[in-house]
Amino acid sequence: MSRNSSLQALVLSVRPFGEDNRIVKFLSKEKGIFDAVLYGGPKSKLRAYVSPYHFGNLWIYTDETKHSIKITDFEVIKYHPEIRENLFKTWCASFCSELVIKTDACGEYEKIWTLANGFLDGISVSSEDECRIAFLRFIWRYIGIMGLQCDTESCLHCGENLTNSKGKIYFSILENGFICENCFNQSNDSFFELSSEAIIFLQAVTLLSPKEARSIPLHFSTTQQLHEFLTFLINRYTGCKLKTLEMSSGIL
């Protein structure tokens, strides 16, 4: 059975297929992550429209007997041209795409659809410094959709409120949780030390609306601290090393 259909989709990646054709990987709420073939050479208008991080209305032809999908048209709603004009924004978008593909959007296609599109929209109109913080919010929310966010409110051992803690706060890699200074074993070398500002930020991203969370300021040192911590976590939880993170030297 062959059929024509349409849906809204986000272009995650494009790779060559034969001499003039391409295989495009899309994310949609209805079909999740799927591949479709784009036919046409360099002069094709459709080829220009179907580019990474473009979002719009997609028309496809599905051939059930050949198990293939062909792109027949694509109406771009959002181009995100600013992403290509800034190296850090390009890197952020590439990271987003790789993470969604490698995790198959956690099987939570509608939630990841909303998160990924919101992230790309946000970094398109933000300054580079704002993008660095948006990147942290994106990872923590993604971990939340994966169902792997740990408790940021109380110590894993004694239950002390971490927000009110006057001492240092540690994340134990072995125990996968936050520990207050009183409970922390100094002989443990598998940990991250986080400031109270970092903990408050993570709590805000979890509990507040995206608009409210964007108003939470971060010092540069905390931003660096959270970047190291969250990129470690996302690599750990995906079970693989993400190429975009390995290639980030010189960009961050």
Q: Are residues 117 and 141 in the same domain?
A: yes
- Residues 39 and 140 grouped into a single domain: no
Instruction: Identify the domain boundary among 42, 62, 78.
Output: 78
| Same domain, yes or no: 117 and 14 | no
Residue 190 lies in a domain: yes
Beta bridge partners of 154: 161
Q: Output the domain CATH number for residue 108.
A: 1.20.1440.120
Give, to the nearest 10 degrees, the angle between helix 196-207 and helix 220-238.
60
Residue type, 127: S
**What span, in angstroms and rounded, lies between the C-alpha atoms of 123 and 153?**
29
User: Residue 160: inside a domain, yes or no?
Assistant: no
Residue 140 falls inside a structural domain: yes
Number of domains forming the structure of the chain: 2
Examine the domain organization and report whether 96 and 71 are in the same domain. no
Residue 155: inside a domain: no
- Residue 87: predicted pLDDT: 93
Q: 33 and 113 in one domain?
A: no
Residues 21 and 86 in one domain: no
- Residue environment code for 91-130, b if the CB has 16+ CB neighbours within 10 A, otherwise e: bbbbbbbbbbeebebbebbebbbebbbebbebbbebeeee
44, 87: one domain: no
Half-sphere exposure of 106 (CA within 13 A, CB side): 19
CA distance 223 to 58: 38
In a domain, 158, yes or no: no
Output the DSSP codes for 31-55.
TEEEEEEE---TT-HHHHHS-TT-E
**Successive 10-residue mean pLDDT values, the chain, 252 residues:** 87 92 96 94 84 97 89 96 95 97 96 98 95 97 96 92 84 92 77 93 94 91 95 93 83 64
Tell me the residue range of the domain where 179 lies. Answer: 81-150+165-246
Dihedral over Cα of 27, 31, 32, 38: its sign: negative
Structural domain ending residue among the three candidates 56, 78, 100: 78
Cβ atoms 47, 22 nearer than 8 A:
yes
In-domain check, residue 156: no
141 and 191 assigned to the same domain: yes
Q: What is the dihedral of CA 222, 226, 227, 232, to 10 degrees?
A: 150
Give me the residues paired with residue 28 across strands: 32
We report the CATH number of the domain holding residue 72 as 2.40.50.140
- Note the pLDDT of residue 66: 82
| In the block, residue with structure tokens 């956690």 | 106
For residue 37, count other CB atoms closer than 10 A to its CB.
Answer: 16
Contact between 131 and 91 under an 8 Å Cβ cutoff? The reply is no
Shared domain for 210 and 86, answered yes or no, is yes
pLDDT digits (tens, 9 = 90+) for 110-163: 999 999 999 999 999 999 999 999 999 999 999 999 999 999 999 999 998 998
Average pLDDT, the chain: 92
